[in-house]
Amino acid sequence: MSTAQLPAKMQAIGINKTGDFDVIEKFELPVPQNAPGNVLVKVHYGGVNFIDTYYRKGLYAISSFPQPLGTEAAGEVVGLPTDEKVLNDEEYKLRGFKLGTNVAVYGLGSFAEYVSVPWTKTYSLPDGVSTRTAAAGLTQGATALTFVTEAYNVQKGDIILVHTVAGGLGLLFAQLIKRRGATVIGTTSTPEKAEIAKQNGADHVILYTKEDTVQRVLELTNGEGVHAIFDGVGKDTFESDFKMIRRKGTIVSVGNASGAVPPFPPLKLVEKNVRLLRPTLGNYVYTPEEGRHYTTELFNLIAKGDLKIRIHAEYPFTAEGVQQAQKDLTGGKTVGKLIVKVAPPGDA
């Protein structure tokens, strides 16, 4: 059997038009017909990300409405691919999907009771990683892991600056960079957030609300600057990154929490021969091999307790719940990951 017995309709939280928080609504949709190359997943939990707010505001384009929000989730397999080519693919076989397998998925529209996702973006969970933790850890964990490996390959002895160090992504950057034997300097807004960042591996935390970040970074690096910067703030911090990076250093523009970085002249790089990247997770886990490689490493780290996923809060599967999650995330008050409780087992 390739598909379990399913209802005809499902609930989803999403948008019918772009705009402010109040465009987020709950609606009923048909349960998706599973495409031949896809896995149909009954969602337990969805992970909340900044990208949800970019879609909601129209910064990132949406092709048709209504569109459920959410780009990651975890749950159980209720429908398998039927395409013979997929079923005979060696990479597909390595995923080990069966009806009932717990998986994490990466794809737009995950705040819904069911989601149909290409098998290449569906990852089996090992024992020891719950669907709750996986929904909280997939995107940010894989982002942190791929970025510290490929955007800038962090080495022992490096000094690395992480903006938004107390955020969902930032706490994972701090842990992974520390594990590699590098020094982590983080920035955040409050002493409470700074304390949590330190518990997650940050060696020095600068309160940018009270201290001069550039001056402190130069003090901590004997005036040389850092080897690399992971900058999830964007517009507000981009200019000053060039004052804190060392010669031949790497600036990784990670996101747009304060707004997108405006257009920029490449000549600016000559002053210190700086490398500048603006990567996305999607392009690091593009092939099935890349996706399996990084998610296997990620879930092993989580299962062994070597990477801790801190859940800030769990929000209900309602329009108000998702609105509140987006308000809290963009309001800058959260420490760690936000998740939406869609329909975990035993919760009927």
What does the binding site for ligand NAP look like in residue numbers (CB under 6 A)?
Answer: 49-50, 139-140, 143, 164, 166-170, 188-189, 193, 232-233, 236, 254-258, 279-281, 329-330, 332, 334
Closest to ligand NAP by CB, 11 vs 258, is 258
CB 306, min distance to ligand NAP, A: 19
Strands (E), the chain: 9-15, 24-30, 38-47, 67-68, 72-79, 102-106, 114-118, 122-124, 159-162, 183-188, 204-207, 226-231, 245-253, 275-277, 311-316, 337-341
CB 295, min distance to ligand NAP, A: 14
Peptide bond into 66 cis (omega under 30): yes
For 236, list phi and psi in degrees, rounded to 5: -70, -20
Q: Are strands 183-188 and 24-30 parallel, antiparallel or unpaired?
A: unpaired
**Dist CA 58 CA 16 (whole Å):** 12
Closest to ligand NAP by CB, 12 vs 233, is 233
Closest to ligand NAP by CB, 81 vs 167, is 167
**Dist CA 55 CA 279 (whole Å):** 18
Distance of CA 56 to the CA centre of its chain: 17
Q: Are strands 204-207 and 159-162 parallel, antiparallel or unpaired?
A: unpaired
CB 151, min distance to ligand NAP, A: 9
Q: Exposure pattern of 332-347 as b/e (b: 16+ CB <10 Å)?
A: eebbbbbbbbbbbeee
CB 48, min distance to ligand NAP, A: 8
CB 186, min distance to ligand NAP, A: 8
Closest to ligand NAP by CB, 83 vs 236, is 236
Closest to ligand NAP by CB, 91 vs 236, is 236
Closest to ligand NAP by CB, 139 vs 295, is 139
**Dist CA 256 CA 4 (whole Å):** 40
CB 171, min distance to ligand NAP, A: 8
Closest to ligand NAP by CB, 257 vs 276, is 257
CB 254, min distance to ligand NAP, A: 5
Closest to ligand NAP by CB, 13 vs 166, is 166
CB 140, min distance to ligand NAP, A: 6
Contact 187, 204 (CB under 8 A): no
Contacts of 160 (CB under 8 A, 6+ apart): 152, 154, 177, 182, 183, 184, 185, 226, 227, 228, 229, 230
**Dist CA 43 CA 342 (whole Å):** 6
What residue number has its CB nearest to ligand NAP? 167
Here the tokens at position 113 are 């009771």
